[in-house]
Structure 1
Amino acid sequence: MSMFGAVDLSSLAPRQGAASAAPADATPAPGGEAASLVVDVDAVNLRDVVEGSTRVPVVVVLHTPRSQASTELAALLERLAAEYGGRFQLARVDVDAAPEVAQALQATAVPTVVALIAGQPVPMFQGGVPEEQLRAVLDQLLEVAARNGVDGRIAVDASAQPEPAEPEETEVEREAREAIERGDWAAAEAVYDHAIANSPADDDLKAARNQVRMLARMDGEDPAALLAAADAPGADLDAQLAGADAALALGDVNACLGRALEAVRAHTGEERERARVRVLELFEVIGATAPEVARARRQLATILY
């Protein structure tokens, strides 16, 4: 994350008589502050947002629909604002629609995120960040706000919150989906192979391709029958790996990984390599950050080395 300098919002400081002048013993209503959890900011309502930061910390994201990174970050912050239960307000600034606000906040790139606490700007970051890192930054921000007496909470009415928008389908996803709907698994895999050739570092594409491969292997199969065949005496490598697929199809991640790792341990040479590659594919299908995958990676290293 690249930090940037402080922003001078002195011209927008809370007006006298605003909430910042409330007596020290004033407390928010039990249900929280009556304010919108997410607000779109322009020159007209910027002062109101600054004044609102005397009660609830405000996270301002400057974005543009022309930038996928900024659109994704704004959507992530909107989801986290709801998950944090109104402990901060999200203020969205479309720099194309409100360039004067971007200028006031001295934003030199998008996405840019700056917080407001008691009318004062708190530098945060520019560019996209992983969700885990963003949560850590938000937690630090809330601690700073609380130390400065800004610890209100917006009353969140779950029924009033808009349904999250479905992510727009990419051309690659559309082509793969259409192939899957036709039952043409090879075509769906080819779509992802082509996309990966153009973007070899895109782990999401690789995970999607491995999901397609697994769905193709499971097409028309009975998971219970596959498990029984995998447990039968003398089961070969294909049967053992099919049992791992079946376990995952039934939602048992630990059993899936356990079976796949046992297939690696029990074989040598080319068969061990086939099993190892399958384990790595299953890691991507399950999710690289899943704790089960982290444990299985350590077990795989122990088996191999």
Structure 2
Amino acid sequence: MSGAVDLSSLKQPPAGGSAPAGGYAVGEADFETKVLRRSMQVPVVVVLYSQRSPGSVELVRTLERLVQADGGTWELATVEAEANMRIAQALRVQGIPTVIAIAGGQPLADFEGAQPEPQVRQWLTAVVDAVAGKLEGAEGAAEQPVEDPRFVAAEEALDRGDMAGAEAAYEAVLAAEPNNEDAKAALRQLRFLARAQQVPESALATADADPANVDAALDAADLELLGQRPEAAFDRLIATVKRTAGEDRTKVRTRLLELFDLFDKAEPFVVAARRKLATALY
């Protein structure tokens, strides 16, 4: 998951809602450090939620109350699923919300769906009891690495909702280090999310009703990718490549390559989509 950036702060909550506070927000950029490495010393409870779901947000609130009451026996990491697709995929999440306890760098226990507080408390107690005395000072526990202040500045800009400031911060990194892959990946994801969040929900229906509309297909693919359906997005654009020629085909192919670059090249669905694209082109 390296080379990605937590863009969850850019996802705006629905009317009347707000992003959860407490615990600590985690994204693709810091999942290894804040969850996997930290879990060598203390169990980390990861909750993958959606701001679109009131029950999902309420579960986060419940966990926030409990982690504050438990005084450091476990830690809470919140992951906004729609902005961190690869975390959800890596953890094989099937539904939102999902709660996963990670200890020693490995998933220990999980549950799916909103649960009443007494059941959540019982589950947490079992998790803490299961790892008691087995993690602190465990061999292989790593010190938290010093964060690059330039990336910290970019992430702070994201926290404030300052997309332009975050983009400028990453561009400054690349101006000094043109080959900095983390900054390149962060910019790609930032620019994708900025574009995709402007696409109206109606774009999917428009594209389905008019398959020849190239711009609608591009917008619909953005929505599908934002909704954690990369295979659907890729298949839509590959089908559009097959139907088009000339400048339209080049336009769609260029967008596909941009979307591929949002993921690890070794991801099976990326490998499969690249093969389909090659077949469509040649």
Q: Place the TM-score, normalised by the shorter chain, in its bin.
A: 0.3 to 0.5
**Higher relative contact order, structure no. (Cα contacts within 8 Å, ≥ 6 residues apart):** 2
Higher Cα Rg, which structure:
1
